[in-house]
Amino acid sequence: MPLHEIARGILAESGRPLTAYALLAKLEERLGRHVSPPTVYRALGQLSAMGAIARIESRGAFLSVDPATSRPTRVFLLCDACGVATQIDDPLIEQRLAHLALARDFALARGVVELEGLCAGCDPSKPGLFPS
Ligand SMILES: [Zn+2]
Per-residue pLDDT at 70:
66
Q: Distances in Å between the alpha carbon of 68 and those of 7, 52, 63, 81, 108?
A: 18, 9, 15, 29, 19
* 81 CA → ligand 1 middle, Å: 5
**47 and 7 in contact (C-beta within 8 Å)?**
yes
pTM: 0.83
pLDDT in tens, 86-125: 999 888 998 999 999 999 999 988 889 999 999 999 988 8
Specify the amino acid at residue 127.
P
Give the residues across from 73 on adjacent strands: 111
- Cα gap 78→75, rounded to integer Å: 10
Ligand 1 centroid, distance to 76 Cα (angstroms) = 13
Which CATH number is 3-117 given? Answer: 3.30.1490.190
**What is the per-residue pLDDT for 109?**
87
- Ligand 1: distance of its center to the CA of 125 in Å? 13
Cα–Cα distance, 52 to 12 (Å, whole number): 10
State residue 132's pLDDT score: 45
Q: Are 83 and 90 in contact (CB under 8 A)?
A: no
